[in-house]
Amino acid sequence: MDFNKALDFYKQQRRKIIAQNYVGFVSSWDMETEAKENSILAESEQMAVLSELSYTLTTDPNFEQAVNVLWQNKDKLDEVLCHEVEVLQKDIQETKKIPMEEMSAYSVLSSQAYPIYVRAKTEGNFELFRPYLEKIVEFAKKQVVWLDGELHGYDILLDKYEPHYTQTQYDKFFDVLKQRLVPFVKQVTQQKPIVPAWATASYDVAKQKEFCEYLRDVLCFDKSRGIMKESEHPFTTSFGTEDVRITNHYYENNLVSSIFSVIHETGHALYEQQCDKALNSTLSGGGASLGMHESQSRFYENMIGRSKAFWAVHYGKLQQTFPTLQSVSLDEFVDYINLAERSFVRTEADELTYSLHIMLRYELEKELIEGDLKVCDLPKRWNEKFFDFFGMTPPNDQLGVLQDVHWANGSFGYFPTYALGSAISAQLYHHMQKDFDVEQSLQSGNTKAINEWLKEHVHKFGSSKYPDEILQYAIGEDFDPTYYVDYLINKYTK
Ligand SMILES: [Zn+2]
């Protein structure tokens, strides 16, 4: 195959892969927002066929040959295509090592496991989910055997979610947190904070939605290119820059939960919407990695959403929506949304204690994948480790081992990207402030200047570069957790 023929073939196949990705995008959106348990179970066979089609497209020998020819002629490729081909080469080689029938069977397993997990969590019944989780862990362990090469064991899974990040990098990062943050958290959270009565009062869900819509406008989410619906756990998904979807969850007795979810998810959404549109016809759109994605959502949630400067402008609107808040001052509100407390649930954790929840999961995953921890012993091990980190024991598995959906999806290696993203957001914030006065910009009533900075430094590249390259471009530095720890200690010392 000569270069021109390879390029032609590559582009044709890429159109098919993109269309296939679209089908995956729509069906998974449907499963997580609309479909009932029985519908999901009935449709698992279709998901298996789709995963086989996608497998066949990626491992097509002609496609592999085309990719290899392009890689041999990489000096003729533009920067985006060059990176894309490099990533694809690795992807093809890895996919080929996994037997198709295993992939297909796993797809059936994971679509069946999801509704069972939801039921097990609702009932607080780990035993119901255990047989599924055992099979999921078994598949993850097989994967590390199939993909063994330059990387081994758990590192193989970590690298899938965050390229160039393995236990060496994460251990270094978490060691810094252990040395400086863990003792600080113990000291700051010694006394249980008093939760004001207004925080758990009843707030009309329709009104909450109205305020969350207002926040999407404030943060400049382009509503002509995306929607917001509801799901058990809020999330963001997208198909290029033109179809970006987020979800939220409303609790009548927890007003701030939906507020921080919409700010967080809009951070993810802006990353997608602000990508270079030219990347839509490539495989290089979307976020560079999960860690980079989380750095954006955390940036909006914490640096913007928990700041007094932001609420100085928007608290009036919240009081107008919920007149009972007239008796709560701006300072009281801002103090409350920045309370630090040791708690059981990761998604409800505050900014200070959040990464401790991640370190717990990281250590358990290591034991599951590389150590001798068995799934049947997981709830017990979770509670022991939780006690080590937090000094308390979850009263049930709902608030313990069953709280997160990730393991039901087979996403081992995903969790550490949450902590990494939080830390990167602090590093970006530090450098953004050197370029302009972020607080002053928030007083203008919207986040245009912040969005623009993030677009130019991070978003526009999509996944056309590795995350560490984007960080170098954006701030001229490698990842450094010191910014994060300094930021938290400084904030919570005040
Ligand atoms: Zn997120």
Q: Which of 176, 11, 137 is nearest to 410 (CA)?
A: 137
Ligand 1: centre distance to CA 8 (Å)? 37
Cα separation of 314 and 51, whole Å? 45
Local structure of residue 246 (DSSP, 8 states) = E
State whether 25 and 166 are in the same domain: no
State whether 120 and 165 are in the same domain: no
Structural domain for 448, as ranges? 150-494
State whether 321 and 203 are in the same domain: yes
Cα separation of 452 and 444, whole Å? 14
Ligand 1: centre distance to CA 64 (Å)? 34
| Mean pLDDT for the chain overall | 95
Ligand 1: centre distance to CA 231 (Å)? 14
* Catalytic residue (one of 162, 265, 301, 365): 265
- Reported as a pLDDT band with limits 50, 70 and 90, residue 425 is very high
Q: What angle do CA 384, 387, 391 make, to 5 degrees?
A: 165
Give how far the C-alpha of residue 262 lies from the chain's centroid of Cα atoms, to the nearest Å: 14
State whether 141 and 156 are in the same domain: no
Specify the 3-state DSSP secondary structure of 160. helix
Q: Which of 256, 254, 259 is nearest to 200 (CA)?
A: 254
- Please name the helix (run of DSSP H) or strand (run of DSSP E) that holds residue 50, with its range, or none: helix 37-59
Ligand 1: centre distance to CA 419 (Å)? 11
Ligand 1: centre distance to CA 78 (Å)? 31
* Residue 78: both structure tokens together: 């533009």
pLDDT digits (tens, 9 = 90+) for 342-383: 999 998 899 999 999 999 999 999 999 999 999 999 999 999
- Reported as a pLDDT band with limits 50, 70 and 90, residue 175 is very high
Domain end call among 104, 120, 146: 146
State whether 75 and 182 are in the same domain: no
- Reported as a pLDDT band with limits 50, 70 and 90, residue 285 is very high
State whether 389 and 491 are in the same domain: yes
Cα separation of 52 and 20, whole Å? 11
Ligand 1: centre distance to CA 39 (Å)? 27
Q: Which of 366, 344, 346 is nearest to 354 (CA)?
A: 346
Instruction: Specify the number of domains making up the chain.
Output: 2
- What pLDDT, on a 0 to 100 scale, did the predictor assign at position 31? 87
Cα separation of 302 and 215, whole Å? 15
**Does 292 score more than 90 pLDDT?**
yes
State whether 329 and 198 are in the same domain: yes
How many CA atoms within 13 Å lie on the side-chain side of 440? 6
State whether 122 and 180 are in the same domain: no
Cα separation of 216 and 222, whole Å? 8
Ligand 1: centre distance to CA 266 (Å)? 9
Phi, psi (degrees; rounded to nearest 5) at 179: -70, -40
Cα separation of 83 and 283, whole Å? 10
- Reported as a pLDDT band with limits 50, 70 and 90, residue 191 is confident
State whether 141 and 158 are in the same domain: no
Cα separation of 270 and 260, whole Å? 15
**Residue 172: burial class (beta carbons within 10 Å; 0-12, 13-18, 19+):** exposed
- Reported as a pLDDT band with limits 50, 70 and 90, residue 197 is very high
Give how far the C-alpha of residue 268 lies from the chain's centroid of Cα atoms, to the nearest Å: 8
State whether 136 and 222 are in the same domain: no
Q: Which of 427, 381, 431, 423 is nearest to 401 (CA)?
A: 381
Ligand 1: centre distance to CA 418 (Å)? 7
Strands 236-239 and 243-248: antiparallel
State whether 124 and 157 are in the same domain: no
CB 404 within 8 A of CB 114: no
Cα separation of 233 and 229, whole Å? 11
Cα separation of 417 and 161, whole Å? 7
**Does 146 score more than 90 pLDDT?**
yes
Domain end call among 131, 146, 161: 146
State whether 450 and 325 are in the same domain: yes
Q: Which of 178, 173, 166, 128 is nearest to 369 (CA)?
A: 166
Residue 238: which CATH number?
1.10.1370.30
Domain end call among 129, 146, 163: 146
Is 265 designated active site? Answer: yes
Mean pLDDT lowest among 98-112, 246-260, 390-404: 98-112
Ligand 1: centre distance to CA 174 (Å)? 19
- Please name the helix (run of DSSP H) or strand (run of DSSP E) that holds residue 200, with its range, or none: none
Ligand 1: centre distance to CA 9 (Å)? 36
Ligand 1: centre distance to CA 65 (Å)? 37
- What pLDDT, on a 0 to 100 scale, did the predictor assign at position 186? 87
